[in-house]
Amino acid sequence: MLVEKDKLVNALNEAINNSKPRKFVETVEMAVNLRNVDLKRPENRIDTIIALPHGLGKPRKVGAFAKGETALKAKEIADIVISPEEIDELAKNKRKAKKIASQMDFFIAEAPLMPEIGKKLGPVLGPRGKIPQPIPPLADPKPFIERLKKSVKIRTRDKPTFHAPIGRRDMDVEKIAENALEILKVVEGKYEPQNIKSIYVKTTMGKAVRVI
């Protein structure tokens, strides 16, 4: 294991306790610095969605591209449901499409709609890392949406540092640490220990505290 839970808890306590109270609830973030990894090669990058055991303190916003029965079920839990007809409308109204893309953290889509979404909305969703997660036709969308509501997306690009939200300041520190460990499992599965230069935690506006 890259980091023991106790070490994370200590660093998180220091980061939270040394950060001044703000007029909003700060997010707690983790930064991972890599070394000796050629991130120009796509196979060396991470691009994945991780469900955190304790969520982020408030649900992420999830949109659904769906029709019929799936759309009806999605409406009970999704933040927005987009019908096949609305895909055309959004393709013509780029400003509206960009606004929705920026408001949502994730999207799901019935698998048969994916080619159309890719063709018509790919230029808006792709660069923002918001391409929908496909779900089988007629599948109940609720479990997929519930999972995404407590997930984070990790993307390493061409820079050797990536950041990930791991909770909010008002959450139990043990739970924030467990969220961080879930992300570090993925990092550990992708890179060798010697490729991890350092790990820091911080609140949105607080000072970074080194974990390792």
Domain that holds residue 128: 62-148
pLDDT at site 119:
96
Reference 179, options 2, 5, 1; nearest CA is: 5
* pLDDT tens column, 178-200: 999 999 999 999 999 999 999 99
Domains identified in the chain, total number = 2
Same domain for 101 and 203, yes or no, is no
* pLDDT tens column, 50-104: 999 999 999 999 999 999 999 999 999 999 999 999 999 999 999 999 999 999 9
Same domain for 67 and 144, yes or no, is yes
Looking at every residue in the chain, the average pLDDT score rounds to 96
Same domain for 136 and 95, yes or no, is yes
Angle separating helix axes 84-92 and 114-125, nearest 10 degrees: 30
Mean pLDDT, rounded, for 20-31:
95
CA 35 to centroid of chain Cα atoms: 23
Same domain for 53 and 154, yes or no, is yes
State the Cα–Cα distance between residues 119 and 91, nearest whole angstrom. 9
Same domain for 41 and 89, yes or no, is no
Same domain for 122 and 168, yes or no, is no
Strands 62-65 and 209-210: unpaired
Same domain for 76 and 140, yes or no, is yes
- CB neighbour list of residue 191: distance below 8 Å, 6 or more residues apart: 34, 37
Same domain for 140 and 128, yes or no, is yes
Same domain for 95 and 47, yes or no, is no
Answer whether residue 157 shows pLDDT above 90.
no
Same domain for 71 and 52, yes or no, is no
DSSP state for residue 127 in the 8-state scheme: T
Burial label, 209 (beta-carbon count in 10 A; 0-12, 13-18, 19+): buried
Answer whether residue 2 shows pLDDT above 90.
no
Reference 8, options 183, 159, 156; nearest CA is: 183
* Positive or negative torsion for Cα 111, 107, 167, 34: positive
Last residue of a domain, one of 122, 148, 174: 148
* pLDDT tens column, 158-185: 889 999 999 999 999 999 999 999 999 9
Last residue of a domain, one of 118, 148, 178: 148
Same domain for 160 and 187, yes or no, is yes
Assign residue 114 the CATH number of its domain: 3.40.50.790
* pLDDT tens column, 94-110: 999 999 999 999 999 99
Assign residue 53 the CATH number of its domain: 3.30.190.20
Same domain for 19 and 124, yes or no, is no
